[in-house]
Amino acid sequence: MNDNAIKSVHYKPPFKFGLRGVPLGNEFAVVTDKDAYAILEAAWSAGIRYYDVSPWYGLGLAERRFGSFLHNKNRSEYAISSKVGKLLKASRTAKGRELFPFSASPNDVIFDYTASGVRRSVEDSLQRLGVDSLDIVFVHDLSSDNKLLRTRWQEQFDIAVKGAFPELTRMRKEGLIKGWGIGVNTPEPILRVFSEADPDVCLMAS
């Protein structure tokens, strides 16, 4: 990831390069814990200090791995972002392998862009990561290419306008997060969020 992928409004990223957590969530292949920590150690040694994760990446696996690696690092020395909108809930009948066949997760995912849903998601991420705050939170995949949404993306966006967006602004004031925005693969939601809320930074992954 580089800062060309990020449009900053208020938030000024203290980094030029970062490491995304998708592969360490075993999205593409099995990555062992040993190899995952070796990758993280190499990134740290190379001077990378921005890390981007999500509950979605391995349905919790990436956040746990990054948290385990970073727990003995000075929190002021790195920036970390995560995402909301995909709430994890443990289940004995979890179907996680249907989404991430290489990650044995006990979690199901529920799309939730309400105020209570995103607060729960942030609090859960803080626990998995072992930190007391996040630098950036992206509202995840709230766009037309997300075929897993229960209803049209515009309907889910309307829920976020009333729920997720003002709640993230409240969390920013509380100090739980430093900034927020949306992380999507298409430009339309980004253009819309700037007209309907007060995001700090947005990510267009594609």
How far does CA 86 lie from the centroid of its chain?
9
Domain range for 44: 3-204
Alpha carbons 136 and 133: distance in angstroms, whole number: 9
Confirm whether 51 is a catalytic residue. no
174-203 pLDDT, tens per residue?
999 999 999 999 999 999 999 999 999 999
49-86 pLDDT, tens per residue?
999 999 999 999 999 999 999 998 999 999 999 999 99
Question: For residue 102, what is the domain's CATH number?
Answer: 3.20.20.100
Give the predicted TM-score (pTM) of the model.
0.90
Structurally, the chain folds into a number of domains equal to 1
Catalytic residue among 11, 57, 78, 113: 57
Alpha carbons 58 and 54: distance in angstroms, whole number: 9
Residues 6+ positions from 27 with CB-CB distance below 8 Å? 57, 58, 100, 102, 103
